[in-house]
Structure 1
Amino acid sequence: MNTTRSGAPLQGVRDTDSGQQPVLSTRLIRFKHVLIAFIMSIVFFLLFCFIALHGFIAWVLSNPTVAPLYSNPLLAKGMKYEDISFGAIDGSRTMYGWYIPAEGSSNKTIVFSHGYGANREESWIPMYDLAHFAHRLNFNVIMFDYGFAAQDSKEVATGGKKEAQQLLGAIQYAKQHGAKQIIVWGFSMGAGTALQAGLTTKDVDAMILDSTFLLEPDTLYHNIHQKLNLPEHPSIEIMELLLPVLNGTSLRQIPYPEVKKKDYPFPIFFIHGTEDAKAPYPIAEKLAANQTNPLSEHWIVQGSHHELIFREHSKEYLRRVSTFLSQVNASLNSSSQSSY
């Protein structure tokens, strides 16, 4: 105990010490609260940025940039054509495209189903060359724009939910204009859309599917991961929450589980490259393995890339497609004759 010379205790010193302790304690508590609030603010800001990034990705995926039409069948390949319009099968919108009649009388029609981020011309394939090839084989040809590629009244891309209804409208148009044999030739998401449409229609006689892209959680993350090194979880879960808000379509509304196990009643020719960075080729192998139609087949091309197989192996591509179409035609003719 501190005392004076006379032995009395130093009361003032004790009072000063006891007064400083509550002040220091209060300041420490306040500092801790400020620090916690600061840390929480940083955490919430980073979380907001993380979710906002996924929102931006979902918006970009739902609103692809599509170039305007730059030509037409007559200018590109000397093919006479008609401007056509038809309704999506569910009546949700009007579709626009071209009808290229065969030079001779023909009841065979090929409907092209273009991919994501493209219009009916899909220049990198290039689509005009394949349309000309089909025309030389005496097929009528339908080329049209999906809603996300429309020149006017453009809408969001939905991974096949709305697009399948639009493709079914094109198939109905072909049937109403005399087609007895309808082939759907699809590319990338247009191929995945064709498979979705094939779950419900009985008017398709065969499909040629190039670089099939089926929108599902795995392929969605695969494509996101190509651009950004984001964790698979919770990225997939966040995208599943945001997509319905931004384009009205949940991944659960896309029937990819049914497509992945479906044995289609018509023959399908799957074409895929091993260097496809957007749709890994095992999906084509899996889909092809489910098919029991004797004419169904798959061609996995070593070293080829997404939707570039025709460019990279033109002669082989056309030879295989021609052979497949000939087999389908022979089978249909045989079935028609045996029914009489």
Structure 2
Amino acid sequence: MKMPSLKPLLIPLTAITAGSAFVSYKLFNFAFKRVDYVPETSKEKQKYADQYYEYVDWFHSVPSEEWYLNADDPNKKMVATFIPAEEVAKKTVIIAHGYKGNRETMANYAKMFYDMGFNVLTPDDRGHGDSAGAYINFGWLDRLDYLKWIDRVIKHVGEDSQILLFGVSMGGATMEMLSGEHLPDQVKAIVADCGYSSIKGEVTYLLKRQYHLPEYPVEPMVSEINKRAAGFGLESASSVKQLEKNQRPILFIHGEKDVYVPAKMAYENYRATHAPKQIWIVKNATHAESFWKDPKAYQKRIEEFLSTYM
């Protein structure tokens, strides 16, 4: 029996592969390549604009210092703002910003913790703001920079420092990923607001929801591109796996109506954690909206958590 020729199949298969590669590169450049501006916020949060800019004005007027890592290497330089507490304090919060944000975009949280008597350190992550980096790494490599920022705080404030790790969205995931590292005793607790359970899971979720694309072959191709650009595959960057090793008390906060990082990821992170843990799902809040829904309730919930663990 004569076998049918494969030639008619080769052209469409080649076209599909080439098309997938093109889409994957476009998505990688859109999602992972740094941008030197902060994109417009979601429609749900635009109603808070006036309040937000009041916090930004405060951020730029409060006495502060600019801190650096790798200051002499423009390709690795990291920049942060340190705001000393109004009265001398040993407790410091380190705040991680969200995707395509910067330290200024965390002004509302900085003001909240400042009012609670904390020193505040707000870095720009790799590929964001004034820090170096050609690519966004969604917190996986940033976690290593935060280990250095922690050491810097201890040297500045003292060995008797008490440090809280706090982050929102990508920043929340950054702190969750950091939780699995060997942290100094001065780190007392973590608050993670709307962090994803893994980079692969988040990319796959957004591929389906926003672009109506399947996981395969796009996600593996994006992962391979990132491996060549940033040195790691997406499957290795997991909040869940890091939280399994976490030994610090942690409060998870998540908006009930978050469709950018679904609330189910908060439960995945919560279940993975064996250390003391609490979870607060904020009714009717969308992505990163929990603070804005009720700033006083948000602060009170964090204070209640810290009264137990810090």
Q: TM-score range by the shorter chain?
A: 0.7 to 0.9
Contact 2:96 2:168 in 1 (8 A): yes
Given candidates 202, 205, 220, the residue that maps to 2:183 is 202
State the distance in 2 between where 1:72 and 1:145 align: 20
Structure 1, unaligned runs of 5 or more: 1-31, 330-340
State the distance in 1 between where 2:78 and 2:234 align: 24
Does residue 272 (structure 1) correspond to residue 254 (structure 2)? The answer is: yes
Question: What is the one-letter code of the residue matched to 2:119?
Answer: N
State the distance in 2 between where 1:226 and 1:246 align: 26
Show the counterpart of 1:243: 226
The alpha carbon displacement at 1:54 in A equals 1.1
After the TM superposition, which of the residue ranges 275-284 and 134-143 deviates more from structure 2? Answer: 275-284
State the distance in 2 between where 1:247 and 1:196 align: 17
Give the SS at the match of 1:326.
helix
What CA RMSD, in Å, does the superposition of the two structures yield over aligned residues?
3.0
Show the counterpart of 2:163: 182
Show the counterpart of 2:203: 220
Matched ranges for 1:50-69 at <5 A: 50-67=20-37
Contact 1:102 1:140 in 2 (8 A): yes
1:239-283 CA-to-partner distances (Å, cap 9, x unmatched) read 332221343321244244522533x22111100012212222122
Does residue 159 (structure 1) correspond to residue 141 (structure 2)? The answer is: no
Alignment TM-score, normalising by the size of structure 1? 0.75
1:201-220 CA-to-partner distances (Å, cap 9, x unmatched) read 32321111100124333221
Given candidates 268, 277, 284, the residue that maps to 2:266 is 284
Give the SS at the match of 1:266.
coil
The alpha carbon displacement at 1:321 in A equals 1.2
Q: What fraction of aligned residue pairs are identical, expressed as a percent?
A: 22
Aligned length in residues:
288
Contact 1:82 1:98 in 2 (8 A): yes
The alpha carbon displacement at 1:43 in A equals 4.1
State the distance in 2 between where 1:64 and 1:275 align: 28
Show the counterpart of 1:149: 128
Does residue 232 (structure 1) correspond to residue 215 (structure 2)? The answer is: yes
Indicate how the Cα distance of structure 1 residues 61 and 134 shifts in structure 2: closer, same or farther if over 3 A, else same: same
Given candidates 284, 300, 307, the residue that maps to 1:319 is 300
Give the SS at the match of 1:196.
helix
Question: What is the one-letter code of the residue matched to 1:181?
Answer: Q
Contact 2:255 2:284 in 1 (8 A): yes
After the TM superposition, which of the residue ranges 77-86 and 165-174 deviates more from structure 2? Answer: 77-86
Indicate how the Cα distance of structure 1 residues 121 and 72 shifts in structure 2: closer, same or farther if over 3 A, else same: farther
1:45-103 CA-to-partner distances (Å, cap 9, x unmatched) read 343122210121122221143427xx998942542111111249xxx833111110011
Question: What is the one-letter code of the residue matched to 1:205?
Answer: K
Indicate how the Cα distance of structure 1 residues 260 and 200 shifts in structure 2: closer, same or farther if over 3 A, else same: closer
Given candidates 115, 120, 128, the residue that maps to 2:98 is 115
State the distance in 1 between where 2:57 and 2:285 align: 30
Indicate how the Cα distance of structure 1 residues 215 and 59 shifts in structure 2: closer, same or farther if over 3 A, else same: farther
1:157-207 CA-to-partner distances (Å, cap 9, x unmatched) read 123232111111111111111251000111112111112222123232111
State the distance in 1 between where 2:298 and 2:54 align: 24
State the distance in 1 between where 2:80 and 2:244 align: 32
The alpha carbon displacement at 1:230 in A equals 1.3
Question: Who wins on radius of gyration, i.e. which is larger?
Answer: 1
The alpha carbon displacement at 1:36 in A equals 5.0
Show the counterpart of 2:283: 302
Indicate how the Cα distance of structure 1 residues 197 and 79 shifts in structure 2: closer, same or farther if over 3 A, else same: same
Indicate how the Cα distance of structure 1 residues 193 and 243 shifts in structure 2: closer, same or farther if over 3 A, else same: same
State the distance in 1 between where 2:242 and 2:132 align: 30
The alpha carbon displacement at 1:234 in A equals 2.5
Contact 1:87 1:166 in 2 (8 A): no
Does residue 136 (structure 1) correspond to residue 115 (structure 2)? The answer is: yes
1:278-301 CA-to-partner distances (Å, cap 9, x unmatched) read 22212212322344544x211012
Question: What is the one-letter code of the residue matched to 1:131?
Answer: A
Alignment TM-score, normalising by the size of structure 2? 0.82
The alpha carbon displacement at 1:115 in A equals 1.4
State the distance in 1 between where 2:95 and 2:63 align: 17
Structure 2, unaligned runs of 5 or more: 39-52
1:307-338 CA-to-partner distances (Å, cap 9, x unmatched) read 11111232221110122223233xxxxxxxxx
Given candidates 43, 58, 67, the residue that maps to 1:76 is 58
